[in-house]
Amino acid sequence: MARGSARNFQPTPPPAAALDELAADAAGRIESLAGCYLVRLDRIDPPGAGVDVHYDGTLRVSTADALLAVSGDLYVHRVSGAAGAKEPDPAAGIPIFPRDDYRFYVRGISFVPDAGDPPAVDFEFELHAFDQASGAWADLGLRRVTLRPVADTGGHPLEGIVLSSSGESVGRLRATRVSPALRRAVIEIDRVPKLERPFDNGSGTKWETVFEQVGWDLTVERGNSNIAEPSGEFWTDAELHQTMLKQRRRAELDSEWRYHLLCVRRLHSTQRGLMYDNAATDSNDVPREGIGIGTGWIPDEPFWGPLVGRRFGEATSSYFRTALHEIGHAMGLQHNVADFGVMNTTDVLAKRATQPAFPDNALWAFAADDRHRLRHLPDPWVRPGGIPFGQSFASAPIADEAAAEAPPGIRLEVEPLLEVVPLGAPVRVEFRLSNQSRRRVEGPASLNVRDGAVRGHVIDPAGVARAFLPLLRCVDADETRMLKPQETLSHGVTLLRGGDGALFPIPGVHRIVIEVSWRTDQGMATMSGETSVIVTGPETREHAVAAHRMLSIPNAMLTLVLGGDHLEDGVSTIRRALDCEQLTEHVAWIEAKRLAVPFFDRPARLEKAVALLDETTVMSQAEISRAAAIVEEARPRVAAQAAVAGLADAADAEGSSGEAIACDRLTALLQTKVTNQPVADPVRTEVEAL
Amino acid sequence: MTQKPKPGKRNPAQPAADEDLVGTWVREERDEAPYPDELTFEADGIYRGKMAPGSRTASKLDVGVFDRLDETSIRMSTATDRDETFSLDTSADRLQLTDEEGTKLSYTRSPEAGATVAERSSDEGSAPDEKTGTDPAHEGEWMP
């Protein structure tokens, strides 16, 4: 695991190539720890309220695909409640807990066993609280525990005290490895009489084969073979749903993850198969319990190749693939065109086949990112009866893919431009990625947020995390280049708002986590760095009003990024902040940049823009670089205007002269900036060249 | 007995032109509907829909096939593989789809694929999430 000088959140080491570099016994230790653990988290001190409540759950340690990743889920257990004092039995294998008891997701950050036999494990994780009502998770922050082997802890051979990020003891965690698999589930296959059931692809690949790759212990049950057709050949979604509710063998989703598959002749809603159990069809409000597949469709268009003219149920390979695909939807997966794996659509496989031809181009595996999701998405996302289908993956926490270790010697440093900012002000954060090794290493081509390598989140004083992503993203993302020894990439980001709302909505200390990702030969390398700022409360009524607008008007952020005159509420919000004594220096550049750039028929207003700026104006180095570019673009225009004005009237000459003066003033201001605040060499060079 | 309608199919005798659809379209509205902010129709009958970065909602139209049934209707496979038929109204640079519930979706033709969705990024975030633990139903529980 790479550790930067800043806080490094690269999770779950040591994956891929790093495993090969370890001594064989170390690699063996990690492999031996893989699997599902039954965990119990108890309150330790002080006793009193809540003493009859603890949390049970699972912890999943996966090393498949040469990657190490760790995640877990915690469910409340009231000793005095319905479950009583009865604890899950480790001998019973992977435990299943009631859905309503779900409370926390454990997002593994690092998992480092020592050389002991059996080893103790330093485990660091983020704890995410789940709100059943909204379906949202809140990041409660970091926790650490050293799990040590102990002789007798009531059947849990590993135990440790969980510490908060401030070092406070928050619980005792006990863990028992209960299975080499990560999750378990049952698929019940019912059918209309005589129809084919999709048990395999005809070439030896079965359900168990595909799900072994994702660490699921899957049991396939031959269910009812005598399902009656309610109204003929074609089945509506409602008929599929009602039949599932009536005919499935078991419906105790709080003690078993059971997915229902129904084979019928034809589907009213589609040709091959669908996951019908969501939205209006889900009459019992228990989503993702069942799927339907049809055997009777006969393809007739040439791109279906050898399937043309055959009943779909006879096309064993494609029919089985459709069943896998729909069950993938029931497990919360969406379409995935990354490869020709299970969650790509059959149409895409047929229409985009090259060599091998369709249907032999089907891959009998989920794509790498879907494999990771099936192993490590929170339980409510994947289990039947969990959260409804239709949320984006960005809305749930997940243990990082840890697909590749960041190359040795790479360091990420993150720091705020100002440590103290008033409520409502944008927060500027600078970050540097440096190659401190003596050899060239692959890194991202750019740290420009628009290039897609940088993202992050802000955790407010209440522990609520809000993500920010590139607002503008270039098409050529994921580009990499070789970083020379000692080379440093620098950039900055101005933060105000993300997809979850205002990023700094309340006074207090906010943690800012920056993640930089880039693709390497071994997969995605990710490094994270963290810093913090303190947001001060409103000082005056005027400040409170201006801050409220900055925090509540989404277009303020769009105006910050895009500029232009078209977002009237965004522009007026920035202007209001400009008139506020506490915010003016923080937003002056935002308004100046907007004015300095032409917008349709409006010419650049450089004089007005520069009049807003002085030495107190807060500007990140990215903004200094942008200002230098504006001066550079303006110089030829100003020179041309001056030349024309010299031959025309005096008023124009005066205006041109004013713009020339503005260029000079802005240049002088930028030169002062690069003298007084740390900037990267390329930015200094840009300014000095003006 | 009422005859159940069967999935529609384009009449080969009346082929509908897809040329006016092929390309990338950017949604004009900004709302919570689970429809893509960017929709690309390919010449081979595959479409792809993208939500703006950071969206909490997945697109109901993520990737699948489309079939132009006639000049005013199009069938598209959805994120759960259900086929749905949309009313269609196209002009040179505008596309309007109306789903089976009557939701109208207006798109403008994008000159450049890939860029515009990001520019319209969904910064209209939801209200800050409340931490759990304060609900009376959670009484007695503690925050580890």
Return d(Cα A467, Cα B106) in angstroms, integer: 28
User: Would you call A418 exposed, middle or buried from its count of C-beta atoms within 10 A (0-12, 13-18, 19+)?
Assistant: middle
Cα–chain center distance at A283: 31
Mean pLDDT of A138-166: 84
The per-residue b/e assignment along A96-116, b for 16 or more CB within 10 angstroms, e otherwise, is bbebebbbbbbbbbbbbbeee
pLDDT at res. A52? 78
Best of B121, B138, B139 to mutate (most A CBs within 10 Å, chain A): B121
Question: Nearest by CB to B80, which of A103, A329, A558?
Answer: A329
Q: Which residues of B, range 29-88, sit inside 8 Å of A by Cβ?
A: 34, 44-46, 48, 51, 53-58, 60, 62-65, 77, 79-83
A75 Cβ neighbours under 8 A, 6+ residues apart: A55, A56, A57, A97, A98, A101, A102, A103
Q: Do A50 and B142 touch (CB under 8 A)?
A: yes
pLDDT at res. A645? 63
pLDDT above 70 for A429: yes
pLDDT above 90 for A658: no
pLDDT above 90 covers a percentage of chain B that reads: 47
Question: How close A317 comes to chain B (CA, Å)?
Answer: 18
Question: Nearest by CB to A50, which of B51, B115, B140?
Answer: B140
Lowest mean pLDDT across A40-49, A177-186, A354-363, A376-385: A40-49
A451 pLDDT band, cuts 50/70/90, is: low
Lowest mean pLDDT across A102-106, A340-344, A358-362, B120-124: B120-124
φ, ψ for residue A324 (rounded to 5)? Answer: -60, -45
Output the six-digit token pair for B46: 């595959």
pLDDT at res. B121? 31
Question: How close B59 comes to chain A (CA, Å)?
Answer: 7
Best of B60, B132, B139 to mutate (most A CBs within 10 Å, chain A): B132
A144 touches chain B (CB under 8 A): no
Which residue in chain B has the smallest CA separation from A458? Answer: B128
Question: Model confidence over A20-57: pLDDT tens digits?
Answer: 333 344 556 677 889 999 999 998 866 555 567 899 99
Strand partners, B56: none
Question: Model confidence over A551-584: pLDDT tens digits?
Answer: 988 888 777 777 778 788 889 999 999 999 999 9
Q: Which residues of A, range 17-76, sit inside 8 Å of B by Cβ?
A: 41, 43, 49-50, 52-53, 55, 74, 76
pLDDT above 50 for A260: yes
Q: Do B130 and A347 touch (CB under 8 A)?
A: no
Residues of A in contact with B60 (CB under 8 A): 390
Which residue in chain B has the smallest CA separation from A235? Answer: B4
Residues of A in contact with B65 (CB under 8 A): 345, 347, 351
Question: Model confidence over A224-237: pLDDT tens digits?
Answer: 999 999 999 999 99
pLDDT above 80 for A369: yes
Return d(Cα B51, Cα B69) in angstroms, integer: 26
Which residue in chain B has the smallest CA separation from A556? Answer: B123
Q: How many residues does chain A have?
A: 690
| Averaged pLDDT of chain A | 85
Mean pLDDT comparison of A122-136, A278-292, A323-337, A491-505, highest-scoring range = A323-337
B77 pLDDT band, cuts 50/70/90, is: very high
Contact A517, A400 (CB under 8 A): no
Residues of B in contact with A132 (CB under 8 A): 132
Question: How close A277 comes to chain B (CA, Å)?
Answer: 9
C-alpha pair distances (Å), B111 with each of A478, A527, B41, B62: 23, 35, 14, 21
